[in-house]
Amino acid sequence: MERGIYAAASGMLAQQQIQETLAQNIANSNTVGYKHDSPTFRATQTMVLNRLNNGSGQGNEIGELGTGASADQVYTNWTQGPIQQTGNSLDASLGTNQFFAVQTPQGVRYTRAGNFHIDNLGNMLSAEGQAVLDPTGRPVKVVPQVGIGLDKAGNLIANGQTLSRIKVIQVDPNNLTKTGDTQFSLNNPGLGAQAAFPDVRPGSLEQANVNSVRDLVQMITVSRGFDIAQRALTTQDDMLRHAANDLGKV
Protein backbone atom coordinates (compact mmCIF):
# COMPACT_ATOMS: atom_id res chain seq x y z
CA MET A 1 0.00 0.00 0.00
CA GLU A 2 2.92 2.29 0.70
CA ARG A 3 3.97 1.70 -2.90
CA GLY A 4 0.68 3.22 -4.03
CA ILE A 5 1.33 6.33 -1.95
CA TYR A 6 4.74 6.78 -3.52
CA ALA A 7 3.32 6.28 -7.03
CA ALA A 8 0.58 8.87 -6.45
CA ALA A 9 3.05 11.34 -4.93
CA SER A 10 5.45 10.94 -7.87
CA GLY A 11 2.56 11.65 -10.25
CA MET A 12 1.73 14.84 -8.35
CA LEU A 13 5.35 16.01 -8.57
CA ALA A 14 5.53 15.26 -12.31
CA GLN A 15 2.30 17.16 -12.99
CA GLN A 16 3.55 20.11 -10.93
CA GLN A 17 6.79 20.35 -12.93
CA ILE A 18 4.88 20.15 -16.21
CA GLN A 19 2.49 22.88 -15.06
CA GLU A 20 5.43 25.15 -14.20
CA THR A 21 6.78 24.78 -17.75
CA LEU A 22 3.37 25.53 -19.26
CA ALA A 23 2.99 28.57 -17.00
CA GLN A 24 6.36 29.85 -18.19
CA ASN A 25 5.24 29.50 -21.81
CA ILE A 26 2.08 31.49 -21.16
CA ALA A 27 3.97 34.15 -19.19
CA ASN A 28 6.31 34.63 -22.17
CA SER A 29 3.64 34.59 -24.89
CA ASN A 30 4.42 38.27 -25.61
CA THR A 31 8.21 38.00 -25.20
CA VAL A 32 10.15 38.74 -28.39
CA GLY A 33 12.14 35.73 -29.59
CA TYR A 34 10.80 33.29 -26.99
CA LYS A 35 10.74 29.61 -27.99
CA HIS A 36 7.98 27.35 -26.67
CA ASP A 37 8.95 24.51 -24.32
CA SER A 38 7.11 21.19 -24.51
CA PRO A 39 7.35 19.18 -21.25
CA THR A 40 7.11 15.39 -21.20
CA PHE A 41 6.92 12.75 -18.51
CA ARG A 42 7.74 9.06 -18.30
CA ALA A 43 6.85 6.06 -16.20
CA THR A 44 9.41 5.15 -13.59
CA GLN A 45 10.77 1.64 -13.20
CA THR A 46 8.12 -1.10 -13.50
CA MET A 47 7.94 -4.32 -11.48
CA VAL A 48 7.17 -7.76 -12.96
CA LEU A 49 4.49 -9.66 -11.06
CA ASN A 50 4.47 -13.46 -10.94
CA ARG A 51 1.90 -15.95 -9.60
CA LEU A 52 2.69 -17.58 -6.29
CA ASN A 53 3.96 -21.11 -6.80
CA ASN A 54 4.30 -23.19 -3.63
CA GLY A 55 4.85 -20.10 -1.54
CA SER A 56 7.32 -18.50 -3.93
CA GLY A 57 6.92 -15.85 -6.59
CA GLN A 58 8.39 -17.98 -9.36
CA GLY A 59 5.11 -18.92 -11.07
CA ASN A 60 3.76 -17.67 -14.40
CA GLU A 61 4.16 -13.98 -15.11
CA ILE A 62 1.00 -11.94 -14.53
CA GLY A 63 2.16 -8.61 -15.89
CA GLU A 64 3.88 -5.41 -14.86
CA LEU A 65 3.14 -2.97 -12.06
CA GLY A 66 4.09 0.68 -12.45
CA THR A 67 5.80 2.44 -9.57
CA GLY A 68 4.90 6.01 -10.52
CA ALA A 69 5.82 8.74 -13.00
CA SER A 70 8.37 11.51 -13.27
CA ALA A 71 8.93 14.58 -15.41
CA ASP A 72 11.17 13.80 -18.36
CA GLN A 73 12.87 16.03 -20.92
CA VAL A 74 11.67 19.46 -21.97
CA TYR A 75 11.83 19.95 -25.74
CA THR A 76 12.18 23.38 -27.34
CA ASN A 77 9.97 24.13 -30.33
CA TRP A 78 12.24 25.81 -32.90
CA THR A 79 9.57 26.81 -35.40
CA GLN A 80 9.63 30.48 -36.32
CA GLY A 81 7.23 32.71 -34.45
CA PRO A 82 5.04 35.33 -36.13
CA ILE A 83 6.97 38.26 -37.64
CA GLN A 84 5.78 41.71 -36.59
CA GLN A 85 6.76 44.75 -38.63
CA THR A 86 7.83 47.56 -36.27
CA GLY A 87 9.48 50.08 -38.57
CA ASN A 88 12.25 50.57 -35.98
CA SER A 89 15.58 50.67 -37.82
CA LEU A 90 17.38 48.86 -34.97
CA ASP A 91 14.85 46.03 -34.67
CA ALA A 92 15.64 42.87 -36.59
CA SER A 93 14.43 39.32 -37.07
CA LEU A 94 16.49 36.49 -38.57
CA GLY A 95 16.32 33.67 -41.08
CA THR A 96 16.05 30.00 -40.16
CA ASN A 97 18.50 28.71 -37.52
CA GLN A 98 20.29 32.05 -37.17
CA PHE A 99 20.99 33.78 -33.84
CA PHE A 100 22.37 37.08 -32.54
CA ALA A 101 25.24 37.04 -30.03
CA VAL A 102 25.12 39.00 -26.75
CA GLN A 103 27.48 39.25 -23.81
CA THR A 104 26.05 38.23 -20.42
CA PRO A 105 27.68 37.83 -16.98
CA GLN A 106 27.60 34.07 -17.63
CA GLY A 107 29.36 34.39 -20.99
CA VAL A 108 28.27 34.69 -24.61
CA ARG A 109 24.65 33.78 -25.23
CA TYR A 110 22.64 33.52 -28.44
CA THR A 111 19.14 34.79 -29.07
CA ARG A 112 16.48 35.42 -31.71
CA ALA A 113 15.29 38.54 -29.87
CA GLY A 114 16.37 41.46 -32.04
CA ASN A 115 14.83 44.41 -30.18
CA PHE A 116 18.05 46.40 -29.87
CA HIS A 117 18.85 50.00 -28.98
CA ILE A 118 21.89 52.27 -28.74
CA ASP A 119 22.52 54.11 -25.49
CA ASN A 120 23.95 57.61 -25.03
CA LEU A 121 27.50 56.20 -25.02
CA GLY A 122 27.07 54.46 -28.36
CA ASN A 123 26.76 50.92 -26.97
CA MET A 124 24.39 48.64 -28.85
CA LEU A 125 22.35 46.75 -26.27
CA SER A 126 19.66 44.10 -26.11
CA ALA A 127 16.31 44.72 -24.41
CA GLU A 128 17.89 43.30 -21.21
CA GLY A 129 20.77 45.78 -21.44
CA GLN A 130 23.36 43.24 -22.58
CA ALA A 131 26.03 44.18 -25.10
CA VAL A 132 25.45 43.05 -28.68
CA LEU A 133 28.62 41.52 -30.15
CA ASP A 134 30.32 42.05 -33.49
CA PRO A 135 31.82 39.20 -35.61
CA THR A 136 35.09 39.40 -33.62
CA GLY A 137 33.26 38.88 -30.33
CA ARG A 138 33.64 42.46 -29.14
CA PRO A 139 30.76 44.69 -27.99
CA VAL A 140 29.36 46.88 -30.76
CA LYS A 141 30.11 50.55 -30.09
CA VAL A 142 29.43 53.46 -32.45
CA VAL A 143 29.21 57.23 -32.34
CA PRO A 144 25.58 58.05 -31.42
CA GLN A 145 23.87 59.85 -34.26
CA VAL A 146 20.52 60.22 -35.95
CA GLY A 147 19.52 57.72 -38.62
CA ILE A 148 21.48 54.65 -37.48
CA GLY A 149 19.94 51.40 -38.71
CA LEU A 150 20.66 47.81 -39.68
CA ASP A 151 20.80 46.46 -43.22
CA LYS A 152 20.07 42.93 -44.46
CA ALA A 153 23.67 41.82 -43.88
CA GLY A 154 23.71 42.97 -40.26
CA ASN A 155 25.71 46.14 -40.88
CA LEU A 156 25.05 49.25 -38.80
CA ILE A 157 24.71 52.12 -41.26
CA ALA A 158 24.23 55.88 -40.90
CA ASN A 159 24.29 58.46 -43.69
CA GLY A 160 25.40 55.80 -46.17
CA GLN A 161 28.44 54.79 -44.11
CA THR A 162 29.01 51.43 -42.41
CA LEU A 163 29.82 52.00 -38.75
CA SER A 164 29.95 48.42 -37.46
CA ARG A 165 28.46 44.98 -37.89
CA ILE A 166 26.57 42.66 -35.58
CA LYS A 167 27.43 38.99 -35.16
CA VAL A 168 24.98 36.44 -36.54
CA ILE A 169 25.67 32.71 -36.30
CA GLN A 170 24.11 29.85 -38.26
CA VAL A 171 23.76 26.73 -36.13
CA ASP A 172 21.65 23.58 -35.78
CA PRO A 173 19.39 24.31 -32.78
CA ASN A 174 20.13 20.80 -31.48
CA ASN A 175 23.56 22.20 -30.55
CA LEU A 176 21.98 24.80 -28.24
CA THR A 177 20.91 24.63 -24.61
CA LYS A 178 18.28 26.99 -23.24
CA THR A 179 19.72 29.16 -20.46
CA GLY A 180 16.98 31.79 -20.15
CA ASP A 181 13.64 32.77 -21.58
CA THR A 182 15.13 33.86 -24.93
CA GLN A 183 18.80 32.95 -24.61
CA PHE A 184 20.83 29.85 -25.43
CA SER A 185 24.39 28.62 -24.98
CA LEU A 186 26.35 26.58 -27.50
CA ASN A 187 27.14 22.99 -26.55
CA ASN A 188 30.19 23.30 -28.80
CA PRO A 189 31.71 26.82 -28.70
CA GLY A 190 33.54 26.05 -31.95
CA LEU A 191 30.24 26.41 -33.80
CA GLY A 192 29.92 30.10 -32.89
CA ALA A 193 31.55 31.56 -36.00
CA GLN A 194 29.96 34.36 -38.03
CA ALA A 195 27.39 33.09 -40.53
CA ALA A 196 28.57 33.24 -44.12
CA PHE A 197 25.22 34.61 -45.27
CA PRO A 198 23.39 36.46 -42.47
CA ASP A 199 19.67 36.81 -43.19
CA VAL A 200 18.84 39.94 -41.19
CA ARG A 201 15.40 41.47 -41.62
CA PRO A 202 15.46 45.07 -40.38
CA GLY A 203 12.38 46.76 -39.00
CA SER A 204 10.76 43.55 -37.76
CA LEU A 205 10.69 41.32 -34.68
CA GLU A 206 10.00 37.62 -34.25
CA GLN A 207 7.29 37.09 -31.66
CA ALA A 208 6.99 34.10 -29.32
CA ASN A 209 5.86 30.87 -31.01
CA VAL A 210 3.44 30.18 -28.15
CA ASN A 211 -0.16 29.08 -28.58
CA SER A 212 -1.58 30.35 -25.27
CA VAL A 213 -4.98 28.71 -25.77
CA ARG A 214 -3.43 25.29 -26.32
CA ASP A 215 -1.20 25.64 -23.26
CA LEU A 216 -4.13 26.82 -21.11
CA VAL A 217 -6.12 23.74 -22.14
CA GLN A 218 -3.13 21.54 -21.32
CA MET A 219 -2.77 23.25 -17.94
CA ILE A 220 -6.38 22.33 -17.14
CA THR A 221 -5.66 18.70 -18.07
CA VAL A 222 -2.52 18.68 -15.92
CA SER A 223 -4.41 20.24 -13.01
CA ARG A 224 -7.06 17.51 -13.19
CA GLY A 225 -4.36 14.84 -13.27
CA PHE A 226 -2.81 16.39 -10.17
CA ASP A 227 -6.18 16.34 -8.37
CA ILE A 228 -6.76 12.67 -9.27
CA ALA A 229 -3.31 11.70 -7.94
CA GLN A 230 -3.95 13.72 -4.80
CA ARG A 231 -7.26 11.92 -4.18
CA ALA A 232 -5.54 8.56 -4.73
CA LEU A 233 -2.88 9.45 -2.17
CA THR A 234 -5.50 10.60 0.36
CA THR A 235 -7.54 7.40 -0.12
CA GLN A 236 -4.53 5.18 0.43
CA ASP A 237 -3.50 7.19 3.47
CA ASP A 238 -6.99 6.66 4.93
CA MET A 239 -6.74 2.91 4.25
CA LEU A 240 -3.41 2.76 6.07
CA ARG A 241 -4.91 4.65 9.00
CA HIS A 242 -7.80 2.20 9.22
CA ALA A 243 -5.41 -0.75 8.97
CA ALA A 244 -3.31 0.62 11.81
CA ASN A 245 -6.20 1.64 14.06
CA ASP A 246 -9.01 -0.83 13.36
CA LEU A 247 -7.54 -4.20 12.34
CA GLY A 248 -6.21 -4.80 15.83
CA LYS A 249 -9.76 -4.54 17.19
CA VAL A 250 -11.11 -7.32 15.01
Q: Are residues 40 and 120 both part of a single domain? A: no
Average pLDDT, the chain: 86
**What are residue 23's phi and psi, to 5 degrees?**
-65, -35
Query: Quick count: other Cβ atoms within 10 Å of Cβ 147?
Result: 9
Q: Are residues 197 and 239 both part of a single domain? A: no
Per-residue pLDDT of 14-56, as tens digits, reads: 888 888 999 999 999 999 999 999 888 776 666 555 666 665 5
Per-residue pLDDT of 163-180, as tens digits, reads: 999 999 999 999 999 998
Percent of the chain with pLDDT over 70: 83
Note whether 37 and 71 are within 8 A (CB). Answer: no
Note whether 138 and 164 are within 8 A (CB). Answer: no
CA distances 103 to 100, 203, 221, Å, are 10, 23, 39
More confident residue, 25 or 229: 25
Q: Are residues 128 and 156 both part of a single domain? A: yes
Q: Are residues 160 and 221 both part of a single domain? A: no
Q: Are residues 244 and 150 both part of a single domain? A: no
Return the ∠ at Cα 30 (arms to 25 and 35), rounded to 5°: 45
Domain encompassing residue 89: 83-206
Our count of domains for the chain comes to 2
Q: Are residues 60 and 153 both part of a single domain? A: no
Q: Are residues 56 and 125 both part of a single domain? A: no
Q: Are residues 176 and 61 both part of a single domain? A: no
Q: Are residues 69 and 127 both part of a single domain? A: no
